[in-house]
Amino acid sequence: MSFAAPAAILARAMYGQATPPAYRIHTPRLVLRCWDPRDAPLLKEAIDASLEHLLPWMPWAREEPQSVDMKVELLRQFRGRFDLDKDWVYGLFTRDEQAVVGGAGLHPVSSATPSTRRHERGVREIGYWVASAFAGQGFATEAASALVRVGFELDRAERIEIHCELDNVRSAAVARKLGFHEDGVLRDRLQRGDGELAPKQIFSMFASEYAESPCSRARCAAFDALGRTSLELPDEQRRGSGFR
C-alpha cells in the first residue's frame, strides 16, 4: 500500500469503502489475531499469572480466575462478534503463537449519554492489556500502532480514541508515544479494577493527523479471513525486507 498524503487519507476515511476486517496482523514480535476457543488454555494461563498486575486497572479481572470452560465460552462470544463486525477483539501472541502476550481491540465507541447510547459512526477505540511476564517491553505500543494502521487504512475510521484511567501512567504513555492528542479528563466515568469510579483520560487521533504520526510507519502486515494480504509494510520499509 502506498504512503498517502494527509488529505487523501482523510477523504478515503470519510468516503472510502471499508475493507473486510483483518483477522490476522503480524508485527516484528507479535501475532494479533481473532481469538479461537482453542486459545482458552493459553489465555487462562496468562491471566492467572497476571492477576496482581491486572486487578488495579481491569474490572473484568475481579471475575478471575475462571475455568477453561468459561474461557471457551468467552472466546466464542468474542469470535461471534468479530465475525459479525460488531467488535474486533484480538489476542496478542508471540510470533510462534505458543504464549498469550495479552489482548487488544478495535472497538466501536458509544455516545456518552446512557439514555441515548449509540455507536458513533466512523469512531473506534483501541484498548489493550499485557500479561505481567511481557510488561514493560513495548508490546502495548507495538500492538496499538498496528491497530491504528488497520483502523485508518482498512476500516476507514474518521477518529480513533484511547481511553484510560487518569492514574494509569503506562497506558497514557502509549497514547502519547503514538502521537495521540490529549483531549481531556472526564470525572467518574471509568470503573476501576476495584469497582469504584475514577476519572477517564481521553486521547484521540483524527484521520487528517494519521499520516504525520508514528503509526503510519508501523511495521505490520494484515491478512483477511482467507489469509490474503490486506495491509502491507509502508513502501519505504518493504524494499529489501523479508518481514511478513
Helix (H, G, I), strand (E, B) or coil at 58: coil
pLDDT tens sequence for the chain (244 residues):
433 444 444 444 444 566 789 999 999 999 999 999 999 999 999 999 999 999 999 999 999 999 999 999 999 999 999 999 999 999 999 999 999 999 999 999 875 544 433 456 799 999 999 999 999 999 999 999 999 999 999 999 999 999 999 999 999 999 999 999 999 999 998 887 777 899 999 999 999 999 999 999 999 999 999 999 999 876 655 555 555 6
E-assigned strands of the chain?
24-26, 30-34, 88-94, 100-110, 119-130, 159-165, 181-191, 197-206, 221-223, 229-231
Does pTM top 0.85 for this prediction? yes
pLDDT of 19: 79
What's domain 7-107+119-229's architecture? 3-Layer(aba) Sandwich (3.40)
Q: What is the pLDDT of residues 170-192, one digit of tens each?
A: 999 999 999 999 999 999 988 87
CA distances to 47, 56, 118 from 33, in Å: 18, 26, 27
